[in-house]
Amino acid sequence: MQRARRATMALVRQGWQNGSGGPRLPPGPRPLPFLGNILQVDTKNFPKSVEELSRTFGPVFTIHLGSQRAVVLYGQEVVREALLDRGEDFGTRGMTPILDKLAGGTGIGFSNGETWRQLRQFATATLRDLEKWTEERIQEEARFLVERLWSMKGRPLDPSLLLSQVTTNILCAVAFGSRFHYEDQEFLRFLHLLEENARLQSSTMTKLYNVFPSVLDYLPGSHQTIFRNTSELRHFISRRVKKEAPQPEAPQGFIDAFLLKMEQEKQNSQSVFSLQSLERSTLDFFVAGAESTSLVLMYALLALMKYPEVQERVCQEIDRVLGPSQSPCLADLSQMPYMDAVIHEVHRSLALVPLNVPHAVTKDTIFRQYLIPKGTTVFPALKASLYDRTEFPCPERFDPGHFLDRKGALRRSECFIPFSTGPRACLGERLASTVIFICLATLLQHFKLRPHVPPEELDLSPTVGFLTAAPKPYRLSLEPRW
């Protein structure tokens, strides 16, 4: 059967290569030798270039990044078909050279096959088991945030560092079972390395590394800084692992639970639960969750200052449901449809990862009459769904009404997939959602947000790098509400 299938696919390939009418690769701009389409796209805003190409070549098209071929899916219907209806076919992690080198096939985020399946299943179950405990840690960190803001006595601030400290510290609690003081030098170094790596992902040399890795491996540049930083980050996590003494009856955090799993599988020579996969999986939590969650919170504060009437309505709902002192929990969100709609709109408008984290096809795949060869990297663009004009008639406008029905209840939408969808959807979606709601609600429970320029001068359009988006820097003041 396998031999017959390989023979069939060989004939199919030969057909499209010879122009005999068989399935062909999706259309796309003609690549240059060695360079591919790198001169035809704006590497400073790669997602915008991809969006423009979709207008010419349709919802399924091919681009070449250097010698690497990739297929882009740009449209709500094609993304849904690939990730949900055919999730197994599009279910492996696509090639991103710098991330591939950093992960080395280990960890949750960038492994494949049985390694990924077991690690993801374990992480999903562990996060679910720790949900109540984790929510209490988030509430605790939100209180520390308010205390820090009270101590600033209304002085103007750039909230980026403080929000990064908050989200990273929450993940420290989830991973290590305990938080750090904000002034702890080891914690500040860890935070600096994470932020520097996130920033350098958009640097010119890192972008070039993702196109020409075999050449740039031997050249200096920001990619080498990322490699050194990642080594230091892993050593930090390794030191924390060695300090852990797992408690079988009540694991305190992800590392604790992972060590117990390793103990259970110590007789299994094929086990994927090793110290190496523990360190990389733990680092994946921080790489995927800390910076991204703080950016969403940054964008939320910016939007609430841009639209003071939205901020006022959110505060009224907080006062009605929580009052001035009740610590919010995720269950409260069911009574706060407007707050929920605002958070949905923040995710939609920011479109944090416009093109999604790269996927790949697990086998030679016929999709929408085109052939996508096994292993081809695929970008199932999330922004295409989040900005779908049939679902959101004015997608460029920030409007919580996009997610409210006529009765003021939350309106669900199949186009709302900021965490992706299908087998490779972000496993930290519920954790991130809990952090965003509790931190935002706690902050607005105590403070009004005041911009330093007139609201109409605030710019909600994000700065977009190679794969991610971020709000533009700003400053604000906080005025006590009580």
Q: What was the pLDDT predicted at 7?
A: 40
pLDDT in tens, 192-211: 999 999 999 888 898 889 88
Gyration radius from the chain CA atoms: 23
131 in a structural domain: yes
> Is the pLDDT higher at 214 or at 247?
214
pLDDT in tens, 79-93: 999 999 999 999 999
21 in a structural domain: no
Q: Which amino acid appears at position 229 of this protein?
A: N
Could you tell me which of 284, 230, 293 has the C-alpha nearest to residue 255?
Answer: 284
Q: What was the pLDDT predicted at 16?
A: 44
Q: In the chain, pLDDT over 70 holds for what percent of residues?
A: 94
Q: Which residue carries 């560092």 as its tokens?
A: 161
> Domain holding 156: CATH number?
1.10.630.10
Q: Catalogue the long-range contacts made by 334-339 (C-beta closer than 8 Å, 24 or more residues apart).
A: 336/441, 337/404, 337/408, 337/409, 337/410, 338/313, 338/314, 338/400, 338/404, 338/408, 339/314, 339/437, 339/440, 339/441
- Tell me how far apart the alpha carbons of residues 466 and 469 are, in angstroms, rounded to a whole number: 9
State which residues form the domain around 463: 91-347+389-480
**Total structural domains within the chain:** 1
Phi-psi region of 425 (alpha: psi -120 to 50; beta: other; left: phi over 0): beta
Q: What was the pLDDT predicted at 17?
A: 44
What SS3 state is found at 322?
Answer: coil
- Tell me how far apart the alpha carbons of residues 299 and 163 are, in angstroms, rounded to a whole number: 11
Query: What Å distances lie between residue 367 and 7, 86, 278, 372, 381, CA to CA?
Result: 19, 10, 36, 7, 16
Residue 18 has pLDDT above 80, yes or no: no
- Tell me how far apart the alpha carbons of residues 438 and 465 are, in angstroms, rounded to a whole number: 28
pLDDT in tens, 285-342: 999 899 999 999 999 999 999 999 999 999 999 999 999 989 999 999 999 999 999 9
**Among positive and negative, which fits the CA dihedral 405, 411, 416, 422?**
negative
Helix axes 429-446, 160-176, angle to 10 degrees: 130
371 in a structural domain: no
Could you tell me which of 6, 25, 8, 17 has the C-alpha nearest to residue 372?
Answer: 25
36 in a structural domain: no
The mean pLDDT of 231-240, rounded to a whole number, is 93
Q: In the chain, pLDDT over 90 holds for what percent of residues?
A: 78
129 in a structural domain: yes
Q: What was the pLDDT predicted at 6?
A: 47
Q: What was the pLDDT predicted at 248?
A: 63
357 in a structural domain: no
Q: Which residue carries 């510290």 as its tokens?
A: 169
What SS3 state is found at 404?
Answer: strand
pLDDT in tens, 422-433: 999 999 999 999
67 in a structural domain: no
269 in a structural domain: yes
CB 222 within 8 A of CB 265: no
Query: In the structure, what pLDDT confidence band is assigned to residue 10 with cuts at 50, 70 and 90?
Result: very low
Global pTM reads 0.92
